[in-house]
């Protein structure tokens, strides 16, 4: 009873005083223009304000013609190599690309067979958790939010590392390789623990196989029978490659640079990056796409009728459907305009997997929404650049076809992006000069202190 009374008092207080918080925190929007502040560190056209330099990856969405920046088909380059060329090579040679791409991003060069084999061996040796860690950390206080579970596990790993605070290059590289290797275990085991203790389902823990790729091990650990098809593993592998890195300006990579610049340890830096990734505006966007498509199916009588589908999309934009946020999830990107190369690559694999899974109708609906959403946004919004499907539009659909639960959608993203974060951390440590500290201008008026008895 005491707990209920206490929680009731706290709830009433916070409900009442949150209004005061909102009032005191609000800054008039016109002041941002008045003082030339780039909201979200972006220009009016959505282009990010230049905040740093990197060798790791490059995003190209514009080309210069007659001295003017003109939108072009999007390109993504990892260490100077076009992501389209990389993925095409993996497919043509029927090999997994996660490990090879991870080597490229960390060390700046494509590995030969000997170096790649050595790298895979090291990752395999790192793919182990401290004794009783699964029981003592992951299984205790099981959480429905696997991103929170993953973050908790990463921070707890610091307790098992006698050199946790050492930020020398060899030690940070060791920690990075270990985290890249164990992220799938931390996330999948966290999901199984939640399923067992909270949802009362069967509990099983499958150890990774040292001979398998990252993608194969994820499916092996996730499924009760540890079975998967070659196409399933290859599609998941491509998904990991596409999500591995996306420039130093994306929210979680920038977080990595900011926290690293403060001199913090690897576990704290990666925990901060995870916290940044989990939001629906970043790594959680693919979940929103799947939920939006589910709502579309419930709301539209005939999903093959383009007029009905477009009418629903217009309702989304006018805040009359789904979550009433005015967004068509999976459409548009902070940088890309005409096309997101990751979405273009992914779409061909999505079609193949849809055929194998007997979900051609679902693929047709996604393709239809992709086309009609572009038209609807052009009609309803004043836009500074083109709008196209981004990688999140199809990734959620792929994960659902792979029978990956919704709770693991963003953690799958993290399993890939940990490579990019590690590369950015190593780069920041190499070039660090000053702590990252942008300026904020105070717009509060100065006030004379009022004694307590006069308030």
Q: Is 250 domain-assigned?
A: yes
| Residue 81 main-chain phi, psi, to 5 deg | -95, 130
Question: Is 57 domain-assigned?
Answer: no
Same domain, 138 and 251: yes
213 within some domain: yes
CA gap 83, 96 in Å, rounded: 14
CA distance 286 to 297: 17
User: For the sheet containing 57-65, what is the strand order?
Assistant: 57-65, 68-78, 81-82
Predicted local distance difference test score (pLDDT) of residue 296 = 97
Mean pLDDT of the region 338-355: 89
Mean pLDDT calculated for residue range 106-128: 97
**Do residue 110 and residue 167 come from a single domain?**
yes
Same domain, 178 and 273: yes
Looking at the domain assignment, is residue 67 inside a domain? no
Would 382 be classed as within a structural domain? yes
Q: Is residue 394 part of a domain?
A: yes
* Number of independent structural domains in the chain: 2
**DSSP letters for 43-69:** -TTSPBPP----SSEEEEEEEEETTEE
Judged against a pLDDT cut of 80, whether residue 301 lies above it is answered with: yes
When pLDDT is cut at 50, 70 and 90, the band that residue 238 belongs to is very high
Looking at residue 282, what is its pLDDT? 85
Question: How many C-beta atoms lie closer than 10 Å to residue 436's C-beta?
Answer: 16
Choosing from 192, 265, 392, 424, which is the catalytic residue? Answer: 392
Encoded tokens for 389: 């499907």
Asked about 333 being catalytic, the answer comes back as yes
By percentage, how much of the chain surpasses pLDDT 70? 97
In the predicted structure, residue 333 carries a pLDDT above the cut 80: no
- Helix 409-431, helix 214-222: angle, nearest 10: 140
* CA-only gyration radius of the chain, Å: 24
Q: Work out the end-to-end distance of the chain between its first and last CA atoms, rounded to an integer number of angstroms.
A: 36
Domain end residue (candidates: 381, 401, 421): 401
Of residues 278, 244, 264, the one with CA closest to residue 418: 244
Place 391 in a pLDDT band, splitting at 50, 70 and 90.
Answer: confident
pLDDT category, 46, cuts 50, 70, 90?
low
Q: What percent of the chain has pLDDT over 90?
A: 68
Do 250 and 301 lie in one domain? The reply is no
Q: Do 228 and 351 sit in the same domain of this protein?
A: no
Of 257, 333, 340, 362, the active-site residue reads 333
Long-range contacts of 426-433 (CB under 8 A, 24+ apart): 426/106, 426/169, 426/172, 426/173, 426/176, 427/54, 427/55, 427/56, 427/248, 428/256, 428/257, 428/260, 428/261, 429/167, 429/169, 429/172, 429/260, 430/169, 431/53, 432/260, 432/261
Residue with more model confidence, 178 or 67: 178
pTM, full prediction: 0.91
Name the band, by pLDDT with cuts 50, 70 and 90, for residue 279: confident
Q: How confident is the model at residue 257 (pLDDT cuts 50, 70, 90)?
A: very high
Which segment, 173-187, 323-337, 386-400, is predicted with the most confidence on average? 173-187
The CATH number covering residue 127 comes to 1.10.580.10
Q: Are residues 229 and 297 in the same domain?
A: no
Question: Which pLDDT value is given to residue 338?
Answer: 81
Q: Is residue 369 included in any domain, yes or no?
A: yes
332 and 245 in a common domain: no
Pick 418 or 333 by higher pLDDT.
418
CB atoms within 10 A of CB 380: 15
Residues 81 and 106 in one domain: yes
**Which pLDDT band holds residue 329 (cuts at 50, 70, 90)?**
very high
pLDDT(45) > 70 = no
- What average pLDDT does range 2-18 have in this prediction? 84
The size of the chain, in residues, is: 455
What average pLDDT does range 82-93 have in this prediction? 94
Element (H, E) at 81: strand 81-82
What residues form DSSP beta bridges with 78? 57, 81
State how far the Cα of 81 lies from the Cα of 72, in Å rounded to an integer.
18
Q: Identify the CATH number of the domain in which residue 321 sits.
A: 1.10.230.10
Same domain, 248 and 303: no
pLDDT at 172 over 90: yes
Considering the domain architecture, whether residues 103 and 215 belong to the same structural domain is answered as yes
Mean pLDDT of the 173-191 span? 97
Partners of residue 68 on adjacent β-strands: 65
Q: Is the pLDDT assigned to residue 72 strictly greater than 90?
A: no
Question: Span 114-123, mean pLDDT?
Answer: 97
Q: Where is mean pLDDT largest: 79-88, 373-382, 427-436? A: 79-88
Query: In the listed set 386, 401, 416, which residue is the last one of a domain according to the structure?
Result: 401
Average pLDDT over residues 6-21: 89
Q: Which domain holds residue 303?
A: 285-401
Q: State residue 3's pLDDT score.
A: 63
Task: Compute the distance between CA of residue 31 and CA of residue 105 in angstroms, rounded to an integer.
Answer: 41
Chosen domain end from 380, 401, 422: 401
- Write down the mean pLDDT value for the chain: 92
Distances in whole angstroms, Cα of residue 1 to Cα of each of 10, 12, 136, 326: 14, 17, 31, 43
Residue 313 CA, chain-centre distance (Å), reads 25
| 268 and 156 Cβ atoms separated by less than 8 Å | no
Structural domain contains residue 154 = yes
**Same domain, yes or no: 155 and 192:** yes
Place of tokens 């001295």: 67
- pLDDT band at residue 243 using 50, 70 and 90 as cut-offs: very high
Mean pLDDT score, 330-351: 85
91, 198: one domain:
yes
């Amino acid at each position: 009873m005491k707990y209920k009374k206490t929680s009731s008092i706290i709830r009433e207080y916070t409900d009442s005083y949150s209004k005061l918080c909102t009032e005191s925190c609000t800054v008039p929007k016109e002041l941002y223009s008045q003082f030339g502040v780039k909201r979200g560190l972006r220009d009016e056209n959505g282009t990010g304000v230049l905040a740093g330099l990197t060798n790791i990856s490059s995003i190209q969405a514009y080309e210069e013609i007659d001295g003017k920046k003109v939108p072009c088909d999007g390109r993504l380059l990892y260490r100077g190599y076009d992501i389209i060329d990389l993925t095409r090579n993996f497919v043509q040679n029927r090999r997994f690309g996660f490990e090879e791409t991870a080597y490229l991003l960390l060390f700046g060069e494509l590995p030969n067979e000997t170096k790649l084999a050595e790298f895979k061996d090291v990752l395999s040796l790192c793919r182990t958790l401290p004794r009783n860690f699964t029981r003592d950390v992951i299984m205790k206080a099981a959480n429905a939010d696997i991103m929170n579970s993953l973050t908790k596990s990463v921070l707890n790993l610091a307790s098992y590392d006698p050199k946790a605070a050492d930020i020398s290059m060899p030690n940070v590289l060791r920690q990075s390789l270990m985290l890249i290797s164990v992220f799938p275990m931390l996330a999948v085991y966290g999901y199984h623990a939640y399923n067992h203790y909270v949802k009362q389902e069967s509990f099983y823990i499958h150890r990774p196989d040292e001979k398998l790729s990252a993608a194969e091990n994820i499916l092996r650990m996730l499924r009760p029978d540890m079975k998967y098809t070659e196409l399933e593993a290859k599609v998941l592998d491509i998904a990991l490659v596409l999500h591995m890195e996306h420039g130093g300006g994306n929210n979680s990579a920038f977080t990595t640079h900011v926290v690293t610049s403060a001199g913090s340890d690897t576990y704290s830096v990666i925990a901060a990056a995870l916290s940044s990734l989990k939001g629906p505006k970043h790594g959680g966007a693919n979940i929103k796409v799947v939920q939006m498509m589910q709502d579309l199916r419930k709301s539209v009588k005939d999903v093959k009728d383009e007029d009905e589908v477009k009418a629903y999309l217009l309702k989304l934009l006018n805040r009359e459907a789904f979550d009433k946020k005015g967004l068509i999830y999976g459409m548009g990107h902070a940088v890309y305009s005409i096309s997101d190369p990751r979405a273009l690559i992914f779409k061909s694999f999505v079609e193949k997997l849809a055929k194998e899974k007997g979900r051609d109708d679902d693929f047709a609906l996604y393709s239809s929404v992709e086309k009609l959403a572009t038209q609807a946004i052009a009609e309803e919004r004043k836009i500074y650049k083109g709008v196209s499907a981004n990688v999140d539009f199809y990734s959620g659909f792929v994960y659902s076809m792979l029978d990956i639960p919704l709770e693991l959608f963003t953690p799958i993203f993290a399993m890939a992006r940990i490579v990019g974060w590690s590369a950015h951390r190593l780069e920041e440590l190499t070039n660090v000069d000053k702590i990252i500290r942008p300026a904020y201008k105070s717009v509060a008026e100065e006030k004379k202190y009022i004694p307590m008895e006069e308030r």
